[in-house]
Amino acid sequence: MIDLDSTFLTEEHRMLRGQLRRFVETEVMPAAKAWEKAGQIPAEAFRRMGELGFLGLSMPVEYGGSGFDTLGSVVFGEELGRSGFGGFGASVTDHADIAAPMIRRNGSAEQCARYLPGIIAGERICALGVTEPGGGSDLIRMKTSARKDGDSYILNGQKTFITNAYCGDLFVVVARTDPEAKGATGFSIFLVEKGTPGFSIGARFEKTGWQCADMSDLFFTDCRVPAANLLGEEHRGFYLMMQGIEHERLSIGSQCLGLAERAIEITLRWLKERPAYRGMLWDLQSIRHDMAQMSSELAAAKLLVYHAAAKKSRGESARMEATMVKALVPELLKRAVDKCVQLHGGMGYMREAEIERIWRDTRPHSLGGGASAVMLDEVAKLL
């Protein structure tokens, strides 16, 4: 796909890309099939990423982070996506680029000092608990409650489809603190540590793809959480969560770019090596057009991702662009990879083919972090 590094990235970003690519090629791709079998990324792999400085890219230096901007996160997402293991990218970014930044943005000095160093070192893994069985798109319907009781809150309710439920130790959970409040007010965010009495994890979900990202329900039954674990202002949780939404959407969009790049790379190789008729499949014009069309569409999408990240890195709002990215890029990814599977013929449907896994792994990006239709609603509001 087109190279935008010289237009958008600094020398530090480019060095980061090189380090990530080497790590993914030498330490992730050879190991991730075993992680898929185990159903999660092992603790040692998180610690290794912590050691290499990959889990605190956007975190302040004082806690062990590197202080990269949003372009750094986009490079991170793209390179993890290039592994071709969607669940690897999802699990790692849910921890490092979605849940942990909520602590950095909203945490008190004590909370940041207590949690961020372990998170950045990969010793403490985070998960984000928002979706409930009653619905993930219409978040106002969230029912999980947190009632103030002295110097604690008592949580009751259920979260579902939570990535990192098993490998996670620290859960960023959104709950209703004001039952009378209307609309988006009356929600708060809590930090809940694994092992807290009244907090339990359900059975592992059996998913179609993202096999190295574990997933389960979270159950809260009279779960007493210290008031000191309230993250940010009480009753303002929904708004605080929305403050990180541009970053989250760009993280997901960049993982999609990486997966698409990998899919195109292996499909081109396949087409150029597969004899057919008087030459190779790659000699057929309609196939060349298919590949050229999808590469052009993805190049345009990549430009939008980098443009949005550059705006955000300059401190400007990128709400419209980031939402367009989340509406557009996961859908493009699905279309492109579906075509790549077709071009692999019967082999594309076999478990041994890498493109088959990428195909299964493209499904969730257009759901998690907000379904495409919800993103289009939001883009329309901003037009």
Ligand X SMILES: Cc1cc2nc3c(=O)[nH]c(=O)nc-3n(C[C@H](O)[C@H](O)[C@H](O)COP(=O)(O)OP(=O)(O)OC[C@H]3O[C@@H](n4cnc5c(N)ncnc54)[C@H](O)[C@@H]3O)c2cc1C
Which residues of the chain form contacts with ligand X (CB under 6 A)?
Answer: 94, 127-131, 135-137, 161-163, 210, 215, 364, 367-368, 370-371, 373-374, 377
Burial annotation 93-102 (CB, 10 A radius, 16+ → b, else e): bbbbbbbbbb
Residue 62 per-residue DSSP state: G
| Rounded-to-5 percentages of helix, strand, coil across the chain | 55, 15, 30
Dihedral pair phi/psi, residue 150, rounded to 5°: 65, -125
The residue length of the chain stands at 383
Q: Which residues pair with 138 in a beta bridge?
A: none
266 and 355 in contact (C-beta within 8 Å)?
Answer: yes
Instruction: Write down the least CB distance from residue 208 to ligand X, Å.
Output: 9
Which residue has its beta carbon closest to ligand X? 136
Round to whole Å and give the CA distance between 44 and 264: 31
**Is residue 188 within a helix (H) or strand (E), and if so which, with residue range?**
strand 187-193
Q: Which is nearer to ligand X, 67 or 135 (CB)?
A: 135
Instruction: Write down the least CB distance from residue 133 to ligand X, Å.
Output: 8
Annotated catalytic residue 248: yes
Q: Which is nearer to ligand X, 129 or 186 (CB)?
A: 129
Residue indicated by tokens 């008592």: 154
Q: Which is nearer to ligand X, 45 or 212 (CB)?
A: 212
Instruction: Write down the least CB distance from residue 167 to ligand X, Å.
Output: 12
- Please give the structure tokens belonging to residue 221: 């039954």
Round to whole Å and give the CA distance between 40 and 91: 8
72 and 79 in contact (C-beta within 8 Å)?
Answer: no
Residue indicated by tokens 């309609």: 286
Nearest residue to 130 (alpha-carbon basis) of 111, 108, 102, 106 = 102
Q: Exactly one of 248, 261, 331, 378 is catalytic; which is it?
A: 248
Q: Which is nearer to ligand X, 107 or 209 (CB)?
A: 209
Q: Which is nearer to ligand X, 55 or 271 (CB)?
A: 55
Instruction: Write down the least CB distance from residue 241 to ligand X, Å.
Output: 10
- Please give the structure tokens belonging to residue 291: 């590949």
Instruction: Write down the least CB distance from residue 126 to ligand X, Å.
Output: 10
Round to whole Å and give the CA distance between 339 and 44: 36
Instruction: Write down the least CB distance from residue 92 to ligand X, Å.
Output: 12
Q: Which is nearer to ligand X, 28 or 128 (CB)?
A: 128
Nearest residue to 74 (alpha-carbon basis) of 248, 245, 244, 242 = 248
Q: Which is nearer to ligand X, 78 or 94 (CB)?
A: 94
Start-end of H helices in the chain: 5-8, 11-23, 32-38, 43-51, 70-81, 86-93, 100-106, 109-121, 237-242, 245-273, 285-313, 319-343, 354-361, 372-382
Instruction: Write down the least CB distance from residue 163 to ligand X, Å.
Output: 3
- Please give the structure tokens belonging to residue 8: 């958008």
Active site amino acids: 248
